A and B are shown apart, each in its own frame.
Chain A
Amino acid sequence: MIKAPIPKGESPNAWDSNDSGKDPQPSTLHFPRHLAGDLRSRLQIGSPDWLRVGRFLKGLLSARTFVLVFIGLSGIYAFSIGRSRYTTTSEFFIQQPTPLNSTASSIFGTGVAVPQVINSLVDGQYLSVYLTSPSIKTRLYPKSDQLEKLYAPERPDIFAGLPANSTSDQQLAFFKKQISIQPQPISGSLIIRTTGYQPEQALKLNQSLLTQSQRFVNEVNQSISADQKQFAENELKIAEKNLSEATQSLQDFQDRYGQLSPEVEQQTTSTFIAQLESNLVDLKVELATLKRRYIDPDSPEVAYLADQVQELERQIREERQKAVGAKGRDLNKLTAQSEALKSDVEFASKSYEAARIAVDNSRRESQRQLKFIVMLSKPQLPSGQDMNWRWQFFLASIGIVIVGWAVGGFVVAAIRKE
C-alpha cells in the first residue's frame, strides 16, 4: 500500500495522471528473462487464458474472498433461509403484601433487612434458576418426543429446531434457549421472554412458565409455612405431654404420701424431738438429784426415774429413725422428691406456654410472609416475527471476522516478524 516516494519537483497529483483514461505505454526496457514472465503477468501484456484463469482462481482462494463468502452466507442465512422466530414477553413482580419497616424476606424465608425491590430481585433469581431446571422441562413436556415434535426442523432451515432422537441434555439445552428470564435490577420485576417458531408456541410456553412461577411461589410459601407450623405444633405436643407426665407424677406422690407437706411434717417432727429432748434433760437432772439424795441406787424412786430416762431416750431414737432412717418415712428424701416433682411441673408449664406462643407466632409469621405474583404485563400473541435474532446473527458474524482479523492478524504478523 505504500507507494514509492514522489520525486522532487513533481506534484503528487502528477502520479495520478493514469486515472485520466489513457492507456499506459508499453515499456521499451529489456528485462532479464526470469523477470519477464512476472512482468508480463503484471502488465497483462499478451497473457494466455490459462494464466488469467490461474489469476482468477488465486484471487478466489484469497482470505478476502473467504471473509466475503462467510459474511455473505451468514447474511443469506440470517435474512432469507432462517426460520422466523416469534417472541412473547411478560413481566411480573413478586410482592409481599405487608412489608414491615422496609424489611422483607426472600421466598426461602431468610429474613434480611432489604427493600422490597431487592427482595423481589432475589426471588426473581431463584425463579430464573427454577424455570430453566430439568424438572420444569419434564413437567411441561412429560413425553420425551413431545418437544421434538413441537420444534422439529423444517426445510430449508435445517439448523433451527430440535432434531429427532435427541438426548435429554440436548432437549434441556434447547428448552433453555427458548427462554430468557431477566430480573430487572432497578424495578425488581422479572421479564420472561419466550421464543417459538409459531406465535402460538411462544405464547403457550410463556403462559406455562407463568403458571409454573405462580405454583413455585405458592408451593414454597405453603411448604415453608407448613413446615414451620408443623414444627411448632410438634413442640407444643411434646410440651403438653411433658406437663401431663409431670403433673401425674406429682399427683401420684401426693396420693401415696398424703396431702401433707413433707416440709411441715419434717418441721413438726423436729419440734417433737426437741420437746422430748428437753423432757429428757429435765428427767436426767432430776435423776442426778435423786442419786445424790439416796445412797442406794436401786431404790424405787431412782429406778423409776432411770426407767423414764431410758424410755425417753428410746423414744427420741425411734422418732429420729422415723424421720431420716431407711425404714422410716425418710422425710429428707421425700422433701427432695417433692421439690423435684414440683420443679418438673413448673418447667413443663413454662415450656407449654412457650410452645403455645411459638405456634401462634408461626401462624402469624406465615401469614405475613405470604407472597403474590403481581402481573405487570400479560403475555400477548405476537403479531409479527422477531427480527432481532437475524440482525444479531449477522452482526455477530461480522464481529467474529473483526476479532479474528484483529487478533489473528496481530499474532500472525508478530510471528512472521520474529
Chain B
Amino acid sequence: MFNFLRLALTKLQTQISIILAVSVYARNRRASDSAFGSWEPVIQPLQLLFFLIVLRVGLKLVFKGGGLMTPQVGVITSDLFFNPILFLGTGISIVFLFRMIALKAINGLKLKAPLFYARISPLDIVLAEALNDVRALASMALIILSLTWFFTWSFRFDRPGLAISAYLLTVIMAVGFGICVLFVGQYLPALKRIVKRILQRIILWTSGVFFATFEVPAQLRQFVTWNPILHGVELFRYSINDSYPIPGISFTYLLTCSLLCASFALLLYRVNESMLLTSSDD
C-alpha cells in the first residue's frame, strides 16, 4: 500500500513537473511572438475591460445621466454591491478564462514540439496552456481587486475558498468542454464551428459580465441560469461580497457541470487521443 502511494505520488510529481515545464516553454514561445511579451495574456482582457467600462459608462450617461459610481436611488442594482470596474473585472476574468481555454482545446494542438519527448502527451500541452491562462487571468483579477481596494480603501473578500473553487471549476469545465467539442466536432464539423462562434461572440453577453442574475426578472431567470459560466461568475462575485444576492445560482450545478465535462473529456481522450493533434483555425 505504502509503495503504491509512493509510486502514485512520484508519478503525480513527474506529471506536474512535465506540465510546468511545458507551460514555461509555451509561455516563452508566446512571449517571443507578441509585441507585449509575457504580458500579452493580461493585456488582451484588460483592453476588453477598458472598452466595456467606457461602453457602460457612456450608455449610462446617455440614458440616465448619472455618474460612474452613483447608484440609482430607489432601485436595487449591482452598483449597490460592487463598483462597475470590479463588477466587470470579476465577470471578464471568469468568462475570458473559459473562452480562452475552451477555444484552445477546441482548436487542437498548435504547439507540437514538446511531443518530441515520449513522456509528454497531448493532454499535458492542453493543461500547460490552460495553466498559463489561469495564471495570467488570476493575476489580472488580483490586480483589479488590489487597485479597487486601494482606491476605495475598503478591503472585502468574504469567501476566498469559494473564489478559488469557482475559478478552478471553471478551468476544469473549460478544458473538459473544449476537448469534448473537439472530439465530437470530428464527426460533426458544423458543431465545432457553431460552438466556436458562440464562444467568440455570444458568451460574453450571456454570462453575467454586464448584468447580475438578480436584476433579471424572475420569469426570465430560468432562461439564463442554465449557463454554468454564469454560475461561476456569480459565485466569484458572491465570494467577494457575500451580501450580493444570487438567486438561482448553485455551486452544486457548477461542480456537476465541471465534473461531467471533465469525465466525458477524459473518456473521449482515452479512446481518441490522436484527434487532439489535429489543429484547426476555422
Contact = CB atoms under 8 A, between A and B. Distances in A.
A128 to B, nearest CB: 9
Given A407-B142, A413-B27, A1 B135 contact: no
Nearest to B118: A12
A5 interface: yes
A406 interface: yes
Nearest to B134: A406
Contacts of B136: 410
Interface string A377-407: 0000000000000001001100100110011
A5 B20 contact: no
Contact of A417 (B25, B31, B132, B142): B31
Contacts of B119: 12
Given A392-B161, A413-B27, A417-B37, A406 B135 contact: yes
B245 A185 contact: yes
A411 interface: yes
A409 interface: yes
A396 B160 contact: yes
Interface string A83-113: 0000000000000000000000000000000
A168 B135 CA distance: 41
A408 B227 CA distance: 32
A2 interface: yes
Nearest to A182: B242
B134 A2 contact: no
Given A185-B245, A410-B135, A417-B38, A403 B117 contact: no
B37 A185 contact: no
Contacts of B55: none
B17 interface: yes
Nearest to A408: B139
Given A403-B164, A413-B38, A417-B31, A3 B135 contact: no
Interface in B112-128: 116-119
B33 to A, nearest CB: 12
A395 to B, nearest CB: 6
Contacts of B160: 396, 399
Contact of A406 (B24, B118, B138, B161): B138
B224 interface: no
B77 interface: no
B50 interface: no
Contact of B38 (A185, A399, A414): A414
Given A12-B118, A185-B247, A407-B139, A399 B161 contact: yes
Contact of A3 (B20, B117, B164, B247): B117
A417 B134 CA distance: 19
A395 B161 contact: yes
B18 to A, nearest CB: 7
B28 interface: yes
A185 B37 CA distance: 47
Contacts of B247: 185
Interface string B20-58: 110011011001000001110000000000000000000
16 contacts: A1-B21, A1-B24, A3-B117, A5-B116, A12-B117, A12-B118, A392-B161, A402-B164, A403-B142, A406-B134, A406-B138, A406-B139, A410-B138, A411-B139, A413-B24, A413-B27
Interface of B: 17-18, 20-21, 24-25, 27-28, 31, 37-39, 116-119, 132, 134-136, 138-139, 142, 160-161, 164, 245, 247
Interface of A: 1-3, 5, 12, 185, 392, 395-396, 399, 402-403, 406-407, 409-411, 413-414, 417-418
Q: Which 8 A-B pairs have the closest CB atoms?
A: A414-B38, A1-B21, A410-B135, A12-B118, A417-B38, A406-B135, A407-B139, A399-B164
